[in-house]
Every structure is written in structure tokens, then in C-alpha cells.
Amino acid sequence: MTAAPGLRLEVLPEGQWAETVAQALLERLVANPRLRLCLPTGDTPTPVYARLAVLDRAGRPGAWAQATAVLLDEWVGLPAGDPARCDRRITQDLLDGLAPPPRFIPIEVDGDDPEAAAARHDVAATGLDLGVLGLGMNGHIGFNEPGSRPDDPTRLVRLAVSSRDAATARYGAARTPTAGITIGVARLLEAHEVWLLVTGERKASILRRALREPEGPDCPASYLLRHRRLTVFADEAAAATL
Ligand code: F6R
């Protein structure tokens, strides 16, 4: 067992998981209306985002008005508006459901200098109040693929084959980029607080690797245990072997 004094593990029944994470996020917004957070796309957060839209309609209007949402990662090489783009997906899954939405900072991948876009996004990713992350089947967080290091800044990265395969399965081979830009592990570790969202039996073994074995570049999520305020929101299936 790895010592992790900053870790809070919340294991939730599948039926309560999204509601609990959404309510926890709203609590952060109430405590700090100017919350600056980074957000992932993907299947894991989608039910949380759907719930947030419902709560936004039912609850306090304008809860998100002063907040800033910084996109966690983006593919490089897909045209603006492509349905596979992370900025498009988070707009559909979350931002369009909030009235008004938070200020949104996408990753400007459309110019001809992705390195410069990454450097600009590194500035946007500095000083986050909350980093919200999903967990890749290979242990990635954002597009910090295996081999990433704890001092990595926001940068242009080559995607792991398994990440490309996941994109191909979802969007088709014609739309599978080989590169992306991701907020780096260093910026995530600097955030005031980090949440790792993990659901489903298929993530159980990589979650166990991340939390219960010594940190290492084979599993970038394992570096999150360095954080003093890390909350893992896992459903019972994902946490089954912890
Ligand atoms: C996506 C992202 C990725 C995903 C991870 C898990 O913006 O940052 O790291 O969080 O690949 O994806 P899902 O949730 O689809 O299993």
C-alpha cells in the first residue's frame, strides 16, 4: 500500500455517483463563485455534466456566471467544429446546458503553431482552483500518456496507440489524430485541489495500479498521490479491487 496522506477516496454506488460528483462541484461553486477549473471530456464525466445541467435549471440561476472552465486537452489536426473535438464535445455535454455558462478557455489548436498554442494554454492552466480528471485505460490523465513526468508543463504530445484506438472506436479511423495538447502533470499538481473521476469495472485494475503501487511513468495518474488534496470519486465497480 502506498502512503498517500492527501488522498480522499469516495466510493459510491453506481446510481449515486454522478449526482454526488455534481453536487460536490456545485458546493465548490457556492464556496467560490469565481472558481477556475479544468474539465475533461469523455464517457466518465458525461453523466455528471448532464446532471449539472439539470441542477442548473432547477437551482440557483447564474451559479456558473463568474467561473472559468479551462479545457484539459484537445486533439491536434481536427478542423474546428469537428464532432470529435474536445471543445465541441464539452460545449454540447456541459456548456450549452448552463445559463449562463462559465467563461470557457479552449485550446487554440487551429493555427499552424501547436507548440505556441500549448505554451499559451500553459498560462491558462496556471493557478487552477480545481483540476477535474478522468482516468485512461493506460493510466493517462488528460493526454499525459505513459512516459509523462511530474514536472511536465502543458505541451504538444504524441498520443499513445491505445488512446488513438479509443478515438477510432468512437469517431472512426478518418478522424484519429496522432497528437494532442494537454495540460501537463506539473500544472495539475499545482492546482489547489484535484478530483479523479473513475467508473466501471474495466477501470478497476488501472485504478488499483494508480493508487496502490509506487508512482512511476508507466501510470501518470500515480503521480496524483503527491497532491495534498486529491479526491478520487470512484463507483463501486471501479473500486472493487482497491
Ligand atoms: C479526455 C481526457 C482523457 C479521458 C480518459 C478517460 O478529455 O482527458 O484523459 O479522461 O481517456 O476517458 P473516458 O472517460 O471516456 O473513459
Residue 242 lies in a domain: no
CB 171 within 8 Å of CB 75: no
Residue 238 lies in a domain: no
Of 2-11, 117-126, 179-188, the least confident: 2-11
CATH of the domain at 117: 3.40.50.1360
Residue 175 belongs to domain spanning: 11-201+212-226
What is the rounded average pLDDT of the residues 35-42? 98
Residue with cell 488534496: 229
Number of domain units in the chain:
1
All three cell numbers of 18, joined, read 454522478
Active-site residue flag, 145: yes
Residue 237 lies in a domain: no
Residue 241 lies in a domain: no
- Cβ-proximal residues to 123 (8 Å cutoff; 6+ apart), any chain: none
Active-site residue flag, 121: no
Query: How far apart (Å, rounded) are the C-alpha atoms in residues 222 and 105?
Result: 27
Residue 5 lies in a domain: no
Residue 151 lies in a domain: yes
CB 204 within 8 Å of CB 239: yes
Map residue 230 onto helix, strand or coil. strand
Residue 173: band (very low, low, confident or very high) from pLDDT cuts 50, 70, 90: confident
71 membership: H or E segment, kind and range:
strand 68-71
Per-residue pLDDT at 10 exceeds 70: yes
**pLDDT reported for residue 169:** 84
Per-residue pLDDT at 40 exceeds 60: yes
Decide: 73 in ligand 1 pocket, CB within 6 A: yes
Query: How far apart (Å, rounded) are the C-alpha atoms in residues 118 and 229?
Result: 26
Residue 78 lies in a domain: yes
Residue 96 lies in a domain: yes
Q: Which atom of ligand 1 is nearest to the CA of 133?
A: 10
Query: How many Cα atoms within 13 Å fall on the side-chain side of residue 192?
Result: 9
What is the rounded average pLDDT of the residues 14-42? 97
92 φ, ψ to 5°? Answer: -70, -45
Distance 163 CA to ligand 1 centre (A): 9
Per-residue pLDDT at 74 exceeds 70: yes
Per-residue pLDDT at 70 exceeds 90: yes
What is the percent of the chain with per-residue pLDDT over 90, rounded to a whole number? 85
Map residue 139 onto helix, strand or coil. coil
Per-residue pLDDT at 1 exceeds 60: no
**pLDDT reported for residue 151:** 98
Active-site residue flag, 144: no
Q: Catalytic one among 121, 140, 152, 227?
A: 140
All three cell numbers of 86, joined, read 474536445
Residue 168: band (very low, low, confident or very high) from pLDDT cuts 50, 70, 90: confident
Question: Taking all residues of the chain, what is their mean pLDDT, rounded to a whole number?
Answer: 95
Per-residue pLDDT at 213 exceeds 90: yes
Q: How many helices (H) and strands (E) does the chain have?
A: 7, 10
What is the rounded average pLDDT of the residues 187-201? 98
Choosing from 135, 185, 206, 207 the residue with most ligand 1 atoms within 8 A of its CB, the one to mutate for a pocket test is: 135
Per the confidence metrics, is the pTM higher than 0.85?
Answer: yes
Q: Is the peptide bond before 13 cis (omega within 30 degrees of 0)?
A: no
**pLDDT reported for residue 134:** 98
